[in-house]
């Protein structure tokens, strides 16, 4: 689900009212686009695999490994294809043993029905997706939150585990050091229900016109 420009403008004004420190980056940036622009259709599993690969890696390296994996799977990134592929071929694509275990574990949970992702997404309890994903081995809060933000386009996610987001926050607020995830967590409360949008602008402070944003 994408969101209209009018809603995103409302979100921006809400953020500015809650924290004027955002004014320089908001005024010098385009309107938040993570929840508006339509990318190439990507399945939920493929999106999660991309986030798993990206954990603790630079964007460039993660994109390279994701491309290799897509090549090994002939572009068909599904649980069934991953489970059928020899683990050594996943290793040859550049995935670490831990990432292979995580990707194959997710594939197995979806294939067996242990994880009903569609039901979790449809739940009125938005924490259900995160809770069910993070119950699987190797999937942490960051991966679940990237899925919520960039695949499900949820507007009220506050990814304090992301270092670049915290750096952007620190720069906006003139802090000399990373505030840390624990300290930054409650700082997002004034931006509800638009915490994802505030996070997007924090990323722009660090990454500028990175096409990911």
Peptide bond into 193 cis (omega under 30): yes
- Is there a single domain that holds both residue 175 and residue 143? no
Q: Give residue-wise pLDDT tens across range 27-54.
A: 999 999 876 545 545 789 999 999 999 9
Q: Which of 101, 132, 150 is the last residue of a domain?
A: 150
Per-residue pLDDT, 140:
94
Asked if the structure places residue 15 within a domain, the reply is yes
Q: Give residue-wise pLDDT tens across range 150-202.
A: 899 999 999 999 999 999 999 999 999 999 999 999 999 999 999 999 999 99
Beta strands in the chain, from DSSP E residues, in sequence order: none
Half-sphere exposure of 108 toward its Cβ, with a 13 Å CA cutoff?
9
| DSSP 8-state code for residue 30 | P
Q: How far is CA 204 from the centre of its chain?
A: 15
- Residue 191, SS3? helix
- Is there a single domain that holds both residue 123 and residue 203? no
- Is there a single domain that holds both residue 139 and residue 54? yes
Whole-angstrom CA distances from 46 to 69, 72, 77, 78, 156 are: 10, 13, 6, 7, 23
pLDDT score of 132 more than 80: yes
- Is there a single domain that holds both residue 109 and residue 24? no
**Which two tokens mark 136?**
């699987």
Check which CATH number belongs to the domain holding 25 and give it. Answer: 1.10.1670.40
pLDDT score of 22 more than 60: yes
Domain with 140, as residue range(s), is 44-150
**Which two tokens mark 9?**
């403008």
Q: Which of 131, 150, 169 is the last residue of a domain?
A: 150
- Is there a single domain that holds both residue 104 and residue 197? no
pLDDT score of 9 more than 50: yes
């Amino acid at each position: 689900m994408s969101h209209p420009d009018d809603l995103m403008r409302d979100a921006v004004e809400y953020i500015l009212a809650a924290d004027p420190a955002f004014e320089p980056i908001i005024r010098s940036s385009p309107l938040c686009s993570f929840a508006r622009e339509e990318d190439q259709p990507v399945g939920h599993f493929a999106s999660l695999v991309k986030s798993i690969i990206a954990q603790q890696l630079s964007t460039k390296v993660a994109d390279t490994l994701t491309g290799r994996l897509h090549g090994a799977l002939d572009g068909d990134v599904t649980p069934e294809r991953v489970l059928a592929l020899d683990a050594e071929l996943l290793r040859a694509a550049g995935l670490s043993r831990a990432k292979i275990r995580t990707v194959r574990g997710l594939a197995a949970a979806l294939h067996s029905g242990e994880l009903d992702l569609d039901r979790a997404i449809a739940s009125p309890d938005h924490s259900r997706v995160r809770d069910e994903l993070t119950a699987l081995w190797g999937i942490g809060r960051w991966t679940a939150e990237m899925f919520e933000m960039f695949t499900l386009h949820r507007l009220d996610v506050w990814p304090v585990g992301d270092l670049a987001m915290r750096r952007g926050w620190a720069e906006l607020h003139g802090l000399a050091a990373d505030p840390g995830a624990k300290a930054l967590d409650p700082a997002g409360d004034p931006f509800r229900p638009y915490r994802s949008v505030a996070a997007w602008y924090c990323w722009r402070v660090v990454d500028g016109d990175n096409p990911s944003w």
